[in-house]
């Protein structure tokens, strides 16, 4: 039951993009096109799950036994950068078509703060191994849900004719605010 | 504690570094790939590098002005088999028609399997040359006239207006930079380049620093910007600053072979010291009745009594309307745009206007 709760909360009530406003740069720039947004969402979900899991293992089997918890921040960043690099190598070699479709997002993801955020949150919330897996996967799906929804909304903007002074990024931030309000509606159901 | 942390971080970085190197060796090993060119020639090479680099390593010279960064678009080749769709980085350069025909930028195409490609036959004529610097003199405050005597092979046959690529080895890497030849194509043993010093520019920094007698490696000739000799109509040449270089070659060729055609040279610079080779063209204008010379300065001093303003404004005033002919333009993009507009308004067909932007 606890796993289901974490999954539900990480997708909806504690949505990484709309409650914590992490990973905003790709959220604003890539949501222009819904297909590309979905691609980015899938890439983020994969990288988030793999990196958070790897970071949990490093944290529990290296950092905590050695009493070096204060290095978490640095070590997590290095792990994320490495995993993205390796993932790109593997994809380029064995799944060229997949690399063709998602390859360009991978380097962008290295510096995505949502990825690092999940690794740090899982430490703060003292999740177990499987809870971390579920939590990071759910957060990735939540981020994808947010960016794809935003992509769909922005398609409608063509007909809405918003004030020119808002600019593309401004109106996106306002839309994100409305979406966050809607997501808060779920908060009575489950929270982390 | 600090020692512990230091040991851990170093160990961690070492392990990760080794892991990446190991994976790179194992995973990115694409084995030998066969590359077939024009269904005629072929070679085998270790995959994993860009097609452009493999072609260059195997002495197939493909033009490239940006050094493989995917911005100039000169290195495009038609991939018949094994290429796959163009990358998003290439979509900025190749239009949808080219993409549908299978064109790829060879600098962006990583060779992972056997490929069959098609390149223009004239690329196969391009050769590598070894030369030495025979003259280097400043002609303006930042433009150097550089002559290169060809050592091996000793002659380079080219059309007036074409360019060469200079090989530059730096920090363990090899790059190429393109420069137009400003010399008379009849003098095949020696070529002249006009090189403007660009702050922190790789090519101009290298060429400006060379001493007399210094060895140089280059390849050529490249480019479809050259004098077309299939008509007897007038030639309009428009140069902006150091863009004079290929046009000077055209003028020299005209003097020796095409004097029966009318040639108008429009040459724009900032001020008089920047108008290099001005005296050569002035004397040409006095000697040859078909040569018409219109120098213009955008920032003229009191001692100048010729045309002033930007070159397209001078052309607006001096170029005769309704006269057919062809035009050769070399200069900064903004000049090319403005001049092309004037030329088409004055009746020169768009397909008879050739330009070289830099």
Q: Of B192, B222, B252, which residue is a domain's last?
A: B222
**Domain coordinates of chain A in residue numbers?**
14-184
CB contact under 8 Å between A86 and B4, yes or no, is: no
Tell me the pTM: 0.63
Does one domain contain both B254 and B321? yes
Residue B24 included in any domain? no
Nearest to B28 among A62, A74, A89 (CB): A89
Q: What's the length of chain B? A: 358
* Cα separation, B259 vs B234, whole angstroms: 10
Q: How confident is the model at residue B81 (pLDDT cuts 50, 70, 90)?
A: confident
Residue B2 included in any domain? no
Does one domain contain both B72 and B36? yes
From chain B, pick out residues whose CB is under 8 angstroms from the CB of A66: 4, 8
Q: Of B222, B251, B277, which residue is a domain's last?
A: B222
Supply the Cα-derived Rg of chain B in whole angstroms.
Answer: 24
Place of tokens 């070096």: A68
Residue B350 included in any domain? yes
- The domain spanning residue B48 has which CATH number? 3.10.20.30
State the pLDDT at residue A1: 55
Nearest to B8 among A71, A92, A104 (CB): A71
CB contact under 8 Å between A89 and B85, yes or no, is: no
What pLDDT, in 10s, does the model give residues B15-30? 999 998 998 888 877 8
* pLDDT over 90 at A146, yes or no: yes
* pLDDT over 60 at B115, yes or no: yes
How many CB atoms lie under 10 A from the CB of residue B357? 15
**B311-318 vs B333-345: helix axis angle to the nearest 10?**
10
Does one domain contain both B131 and B114? no
Place of tokens 């006239």: B145
Place of tokens 């003097």: B255
Q: How confident is the model at residue A147 (pLDDT cuts 50, 70, 90)?
A: very high
Nearest to B8 among A66, A86, A92 (CB): A66
CB contact under 8 Å between B19 and A86, yes or no, is: yes
**A167-184 vs A129-160: helix axis angle to the nearest 10?**
130
More confident residue, B235 or A103: B235
* Cα separation, A162 vs B186, whole angstroms: 65
Residue B23 included in any domain? no
State the pLDDT at residue A103: 72
Residue B248 included in any domain? yes
From chain A, pick out residues whose CB is under 8 angstroms from the CB of B28: 89, 92-93
Identify whether the C-beta of residue A126 lies closer than 8 Å to the C-beta of residue A6.
Answer: no
Place of tokens 């306002």: A174
* Cα separation, B200 vs A177, whole angstroms: 46
More confident residue, B335 or B84: B335
Q: How confident is the model at residue B342 (pLDDT cuts 50, 70, 90)?
A: very high
What pLDDT, in 10s, does the model give residues B122-161? 888 888 999 999 999 999 999 999 999 999 889 999 999 9
Interface size, chain A vs chain B, as Cβ–Cβ contacts under 8 Å: 44
More confident residue, B66 or A146: A146
* Cα separation, A32 vs A80, whole angstroms: 26
Does one domain contain both B112 and B137? no
Nearest to B16 among A70, A78, A89 (CB): A78
Name which of B329, B331, B268, B328 is nearest B299 in CA terms.
B268
The strand pair at B173-180 and B163-170 is best described as antiparallel
Question: What secondary structure, in 3-state letters, does chain A show?
Answer: CHHHHHHHHHHHHCCCCCCCCCCHHHHHHHHHCHHHHHHHHHHHHHHHHHHHHHHHHHHHHHHHHHCCHHHHHHHHHHHHHHHHHHHHHHHHHHCHHHHHHHCCHHHHHHCCHHHHHHHHHHHHCCCCHHHHHHHHHHHHHHHHHHHHHHHHHHHHHHHHCCCHHHHHHHHHHHHHHHHHHHHHCCCCCCCC
More confident residue, B80 or A91: B80
Q: Of B92, B123, B154, which residue is a domain's last?
A: B123
Does one domain contain both B131 and B187? yes
- What domain range is B324 assigned to? 234-357
What pLDDT, in 10s, does the model give residues A23-42? 888 888 888 888 888 888 98
Does residue A98 sit at the B interface (CB-CB below 8 Å)?
no
Question: What secondary structure, in 3-state letters, does chain B show?
Answer: CHHHHHHHHHHHHHHHHHHHHHHHHHHCCCCEEEEEECCCEEEEEECCCEHHHHHHHCCCCCCCCCCCCCCCCCCEEEEEECCCCCCHHHHCCCCHHHHHHCEEECCCCECCCCEEEECCHHHHHCEEEEEEEEEEEECCCCEEEEEEEEEECCCCCCCCCCEEEEEEEECCEEEEEEEEECCCCCCCCEEEEEEECCCCCHHHHHHHHCCCCCEEEEEEEECCCCCCCCCCCCEEEEEEHHHHHHHHHHHHHHHHHCCCCCEEEEEEECCHHHCCCHHHHHHHHHHCCCEEEEEEECCCCCCCCCEECCHHHHHHHHCCCCCCCEEEEEECHHHHHHHHHHHHHCCCCHHHEEEEEC
Does residue A65 sit at the B interface (CB-CB below 8 Å)?
no
Q: Considering its fold, how many domains does chain B have in total?
A: 3
Q: How confident is the model at residue A82 (pLDDT cuts 50, 70, 90)?
A: very high
Which residues 6+ apart lie within 8 Å of B53 measured at CB? B68, B107
Place of tokens 């290099």: B276
Residue B21 included in any domain? no
State the pLDDT at residue B197: 93
From chain B, pick out residues whose CB is under 8 angstroms from the CB of A39: none
* Cα separation, B99 vs A105, whole angstroms: 22
Does one domain contain both B201 and B270? no
Does one domain contain both B118 and B130? no
- The domain spanning residue B131 has which CATH number? 2.40.30.10
* pLDDT over 60 at B165, yes or no: yes
Chain B residues with CB-CB distance to A under 8 A? 1, 4-5, 8-9, 12-13, 16, 19-20, 23-24, 27-28, 30, 84-85, 87-88, 110, 112
Q: How confident is the model at residue B212 (pLDDT cuts 50, 70, 90)?
A: very high
Does one domain contain both B150 and B54? no
* Cα separation, B156 vs B58, whole angstroms: 20
Which residues 6+ apart lie within 8 Å of B227 measured at CB? B159, B160, B161, B235, B250, B253, B254, B258, B328
Place of tokens 């006095």: B286
Does one domain contain both B211 and B293? no
Mutate to test the interface with A, among B16, B31, B89 (most CBs of A within 10 A): B16
Does one domain contain both B351 and B272? yes
State the pLDDT at residue A97: 73
* Cα separation, B358 vs B350, whole angstroms: 20
Provide the token pair at B155: 């002659």
How many CB atoms lie under 10 A from the CB of residue A161? 7
State the pLDDT at residue A40: 86
Identify whether the C-beta of residue B281 lies closer than 8 Å to the C-beta of residue B269.
Answer: no
Chain A residue whose CA is closest to B20: A86
Does residue A191 sit at the B interface (CB-CB below 8 Å)?
no
State the pLDDT at residue A165: 83
Chain A residue whose CA is closest to B18: A82
Mutate to test the interface with B, among A69, A86, A95, A98 (most CBs of B within 10 A): A86
Nearest to B85 among A71, A78, A100 (CB): A100
Identify whether the C-beta of residue B65 lies closer than 8 Å to the C-beta of residue B203.
Answer: no
* Cα separation, A133 vs A54, whole angstroms: 10
Name which of B330, B327, B266, B338 is nearest B297 in CA terms.
B266
Q: What ipTM was estimated for this complex? A: 0.74
Mean pLDDT of chain B: 89
Place of tokens 């010399």: B183
How far separated are the first and last CA of chain A, in Å rounded?
13
CB contact under 8 Å between B27 and A104, yes or no, is: no
Provide the token pair at A128: 């177990």
* pLDDT over 60 at B171, yes or no: yes
Q: How confident is the model at residue B2 (pLDDT cuts 50, 70, 90)?
A: confident
CB contact under 8 Å between A82 and B16, yes or no, is: yes
From chain B, pick out residues whose CB is under 8 angstroms from the CB of A87: none
Name which of B83, B60, B64, B80 is nearest B72 in CA terms.
B64
- For chain A, percent of residues with pLDDT exceeding 70: 97
CB contact under 8 Å between A100 and B84, yes or no, is: yes
Place of tokens 């039951």: A1
Q: How confident is the model at residue A191 (pLDDT cuts 50, 70, 90)?
A: low
Name which of B315, B242, B251 is nearest B276 in CA terms.
B242
Does one domain contain both B344 and B252? yes
Q: What is the mean pLDDT of residues B217-236?
A: 89
State the pLDDT at residue B323: 65
């Amino acid at each position: 039951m606890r796993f289901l709760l974490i999954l539900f909360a990480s997708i909806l009530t504690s949505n990484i993009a709309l409650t914590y406003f992490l990973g905003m740069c790709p959220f604003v720039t890539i949501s222009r096109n819904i297909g590309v947004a979905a691609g980015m969402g899938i890439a983020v979900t994969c990288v988030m799950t793999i990196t958070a899991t790897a970071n949990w293992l490093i944290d529990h089997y290296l950092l905590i036994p050695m009493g070096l918890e204060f290095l978490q921040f640095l070590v997590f960043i290095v792990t994320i950068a490495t995993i993205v690099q390796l993932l790109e190598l593997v994809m380029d070699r064995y799944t060229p078509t997949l690399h063709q479709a998602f390859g360009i997002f991978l380097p962008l993801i290295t510096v995505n703060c949502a990825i690092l955020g999940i690794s740090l949150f899982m430490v703060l919330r003292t999740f177990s191994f499987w809870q971390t897996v579920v939590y990071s996967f759910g957060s990735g799906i939540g981020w994808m849900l947010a960016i794809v929804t935003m992509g769909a909304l922005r398609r409608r903007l063509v007909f809405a004719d918003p004030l020119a002074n808002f600019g593309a990024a401004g109106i996106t931030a306002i839309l994100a605010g409305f979406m966050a309000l809607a997501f808060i509606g779920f908060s009575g159901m489950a929270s982390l | 504690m600090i020692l512990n942390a230091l040991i851990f971080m170093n160990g961690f970085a070492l392990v990760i570094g080794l892991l990446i190197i190991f994976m790179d060796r194992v995973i990115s090993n694409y084995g030998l790939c066969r590359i077939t060119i024009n269904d005629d020639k072929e070679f085998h090479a270790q995959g994993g590098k860009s097609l452009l680099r493999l072609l260059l390593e195997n002495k197939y010279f493909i033009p490239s002005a940006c050094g493989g960064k995917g911005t100039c678009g000169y290195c495009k080749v038609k991939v018949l088999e094994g290429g796959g769709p163009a990358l998003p980085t290439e979509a900025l350069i190749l239009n949808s028609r080219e993409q549908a025909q299978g064109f790829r930028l060879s600098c962006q195409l990583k060779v992972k399997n056997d490929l069959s490609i098609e390149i223009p036959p004239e690329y196969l004529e391009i050769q590598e040359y070894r030369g030495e610097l025979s003259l280097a003199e400043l002609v303006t405050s930042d433009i150097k006239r550089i002559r290169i005597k060809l050592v091996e092979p000793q002659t380079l046959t080219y059309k007036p207006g074409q360019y060469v690529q200079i090989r530059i080895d730096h920090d363990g890497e090899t790059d190429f930079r393109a420069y137009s030849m400003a010399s008379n194509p009849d003098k095949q043993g020696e070529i002249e380049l006009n090189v403007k010093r660009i702050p922190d520019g790789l090519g101009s920094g290298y060429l400006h620093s060379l001493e007399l007698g210094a060895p140089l490696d280059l390849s050529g000739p490249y480019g479809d910007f050259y004098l077309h000799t299939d008509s007897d109509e007038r030639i309009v040449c428009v140069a902006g600053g150091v863009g004079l270089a290929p046009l000077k070659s055209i003028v020299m060729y005209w003097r020796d072979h095409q004097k029966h055609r009318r040639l108008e040279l429009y040459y724009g610079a900032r001020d008089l010291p920047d108008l290099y080779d001005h005296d050569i063209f002035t004397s040409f204008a006095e000697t040859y009745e078909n040569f018409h010379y219109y120098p213009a300065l955008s920032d003229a001093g009191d001692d100048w009594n010729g045309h002033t303003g930007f070159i397209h404004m001078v052309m607006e005033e001096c170029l005769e309307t309704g006269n057919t002919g062809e035009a050769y333009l070399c200069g900064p993009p903004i000049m090319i745009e403005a001049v092309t507009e004037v030329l088409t308004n004055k009746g020169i067909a768009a397909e008879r206007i050739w330009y070289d932007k830099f």
